[in-house]
Amino acid sequence: MTVIYKNATLITGATDQAIPDAVLVVDNETILYAGPSKDWQDRNEHEVVDLDGHWIIPGLIDCHIHMDLYGFGDTFQENLVEDKLRTLRSAKLMSDTLCAGFTTIRNVGTVNHIDFAVKAGIEAGYFKGPRICTSGKIISMTCSGTEYFDGMYRVADGVDDCRKAAREQLKEGADCLKLMATGAVMNPGGVPGAAQLNEDEIRAVVEEGLKLGKHTAAHAHGADGIINAVNAGVRTIEHGTMADERAIESMAAAGTYLVPTMSLHDLFMAHIDTVPEFMIEKSSRMQDDYIDIVKQAVKAGVPIAMGTDAGTNYNYHGNNAAEIVYLVEKEILSPMTAIQASTRVAAEAIQMADRVGTLEPGKLADFIVLDRDPVENIRTLAEPKHIHQVFKGGAPVL
Ligand SMILES: [Zn+2]
């Protein structure tokens, strides 16, 4: 069935300009045409939906979530939730995420391969959820703190073990791989500035992914770890909180995507009574410089893809657009660039640009209808009352 959505203002994600008086033509799950109404030639009778006074944008993409974390004040409490309940909870959270307009997510670390079950459940049509690119367990060297998220890490040391760890995730169905190139904020023993897996260990993981055409994401705060990861060929640097000039240059030169996760710091600070002190302390130490660092990365030409770290403390699934608002309100990205970071650039970063990320002929019809201009007011994306409808593969989800 062909449906014509007409009279809306269209933001395709592919260009910087919104198209007024546009037409979006969807044939089953695929886009046939997206552009000015005057250029749409086919005049056959189809189902027509008048969206006068509305805006259409591509379905949003979050490049960094943890579907099985619930946003507890102290994430250590997650260890008390057993896996079956956690799996059901993840299914509910993915439905919330889709209804918030996020039609694609990349999941970068979940305990005990819950992510593969949830993804399979969505694809089988058992429940609603976004398209999912998922990594399985996070590959980490032996270090203090991994026990804080019991079951989330595959501890590996040395090139051969890292290779095996990558193969294990791929065997289970990983779409991408995730590894720790530096210590973390989110566990008590982690030293964010300290490099972890060596360049040759990271390269072994990257190579195993590439054999199957799959990319690797590296958790990296400190500059040394970022540079190790970039040199080893990872596709995305997660966080990048302590990047220095060298690290930014290396990302820019290699075309490595940066996925900053910035707004969660404000959530920590709004809940200092319940968020563990070590997280507040580490995050506070880094946050002041973080905004400048990401601005420098933008200036240097590092492609920015949006990620939230959803699931971490008070960082609820379904509130993902708060990060887009943060990027705009801190003047890191313009509203249009922030939308692109959450659509086209995000799709490129997670290797899904052939299917999603822009509204162009041949792509899947994942889009959101808004009742207010998101470029004029970026908070439109974060306020459910302005989300008129969400479509995944041409089908309404609300
Ligand atoms: Zn994360």
Question: Does residue 43 have a pLDDT over 90?
Answer: no
Distance CA 187, CA 164 (A): 25
Q: What percent of the chain is modeled with pLDDT above 70? A: 99
Question: Does residue 45 have a pLDDT over 80?
Answer: no
The pLDDT value given to residue 46: 82
The pLDDT value given to residue 42: 75
The pLDDT value given to residue 222: 97
How many Cα atoms sit within 13 Å of 33 on the Cβ side?
17
The pLDDT value given to residue 388: 97
**Higher-confidence residue: 125 or 186?**
125
Question: Could you tell me the distance, in angstroms and rounded to a whole number, from the CA of residue 64 to the centre of ligand 1?
Answer: 6
The whole-number average pLDDT for the span 153-158 is 98
Question: Could you tell me the distance, in angstroms and rounded to a whole number, from the CA of residue 310 to the centre of ligand 1?
Answer: 8
CB atoms near residue 288 (< 10 Å)? 9
Q: Which residues pair with 178 in a beta bridge?
A: 138, 217
Question: Could you tell me the distance, in angstroms and rounded to a whole number, from the CA of residue 17 to the centre of ligand 1?
Answer: 32
Residue count of the chain: 398
Distance CA 356, CA 338 (A): 17
The pLDDT value given to residue 288: 87
* 319-173-115 Cα angle (round to 5): 30
CB-based contact 130:392 (threshold 8 Å): yes
State the DSSP H helix or E strand holding residue 306, giving kind and residue range, or none if neither: none
Q: Catalogue all structural domains in the chain, each as residue range(s) with its CATH number.
A: 2-58+358-396 (2.30.40.10), 60-349 (3.20.20.140)
Q: How confident is the model at residue 44 (pLDDT cuts 50, 70, 90)?
A: confident
Locus of tokens 């601005």: 295
Question: Could you tell me the distance, in angstroms and rounded to a whole number, from the CA of residue 28 to the centre of ligand 1?
Answer: 35
End-to-end CA distance of the chain: 20
Distance CA 207, CA 211 (A): 6
Question: Could you tell me the distance, in angstroms and rounded to a whole number, from the CA of residue 253 to the centre of ligand 1?
Answer: 25
Q: Hey, what are 104's tokens?
A: 């694609």
Question: Could you tell me the distance, in angstroms and rounded to a whole number, from the CA of residue 229 to the centre of ligand 1?
Answer: 16
State the DSSP H helix or E strand holding residue 283, giving kind and residue range, or none if neither: helix 277-300
The 3-state secondary structure of 154-177, one letter per residue: EECCCHHHHHHHHHHHHHHCCCCE
The pLDDT value given to residue 177: 99
The whole-number average pLDDT for the span 47-67 is 97
Q: How confident is the model at residue 162 (pLDDT cuts 50, 70, 90)?
A: very high
DSSP one-letter code for 303: P
| pLDDT, tens digit (0-9, with 9 covering 90-100), for 200-220 | 999 999 999 999 999 999 999
| Nearest of 353, 396, 357, 360 to residue 3 by alpha carbon | 396
Give me the phi and psi of 34, to 5 degrees please: -145, 110
| pLDDT, tens digit (0-9, with 9 covering 90-100), for 263-307 | 999 999 999 999 999 999 999 999 989 999 999 999 999 999 999
The pLDDT value given to residue 305: 98
Question: Could you tell me the distance, in angstroms and rounded to a whole number, from the CA of residue 65 to the centre of ligand 1?
Answer: 6
Question: Could you tell me the distance, in angstroms and rounded to a whole number, from the CA of residue 201 to the centre of ligand 1?
Answer: 20
Distance CA 234, CA 128 (A): 31
The whole-number average pLDDT for the span 23-32 is 96
Distance CA 375, CA 63 (A): 21
Question: Could you tell me the distance, in angstroms and rounded to a whole number, from the CA of residue 336 to the centre of ligand 1?
Answer: 25
Q: Which amino acid is at 111?
A: V
Distance CA 284, CA 9 (A): 41
The pLDDT value given to residue 219: 98
| pLDDT, tens digit (0-9, with 9 covering 90-100), for 208-253 | 999 999 999 999 999 999 999 999 999 999 999 999 999 999 999 9
The whole-number average pLDDT for the span 129-155 is 96
Question: Could you tell me the distance, in angstroms and rounded to a whole number, from the CA of residue 186 to the centre of ligand 1?
Answer: 9
DSSP one-letter code for 59: P
Question: Does residue 345 have a pLDDT over 90?
Answer: yes
Q: Hey, what are 300's tokens?
A: 């240097």
Question: Could you tell me the distance, in angstroms and rounded to a whole number, from the CA of residue 312 to the centre of ligand 1?
Answer: 8
The pLDDT value given to residue 115: 98
Question: Could you tell me the distance, in angstroms and rounded to a whole number, from the CA of residue 301 to the centre of ligand 1?
Answer: 24
Q: How confident is the model at residue 29 (pLDDT cuts 50, 70, 90)?
A: very high
The contacts of residue 92 (CB under 8 Å, 6+ apart) are: none
Question: Could you tell me the distance, in angstroms and rounded to a whole number, from the CA of residue 307 to the centre of ligand 1?
Answer: 9
The pLDDT value given to residue 1: 87
Question: Could you tell me the distance, in angstroms and rounded to a whole number, from the CA of residue 170 to the centre of ligand 1?
Answer: 19
Question: Could you tell me the distance, in angstroms and rounded to a whole number, from the CA of residue 275 to the centre of ligand 1?
Answer: 16
Q: Hey, what are 43's tokens?
A: 């005049």
Q: How confident is the model at residue 37 (pLDDT cuts 50, 70, 90)?
A: very high
| pLDDT, tens digit (0-9, with 9 covering 90-100), for 369-385 | 999 999 999 999 999 99
The whole-number average pLDDT for the span 355-367 is 98
The pLDDT value given to residue 145: 86
The pLDDT value given to residue 386: 98
The pLDDT value given to residue 239: 98
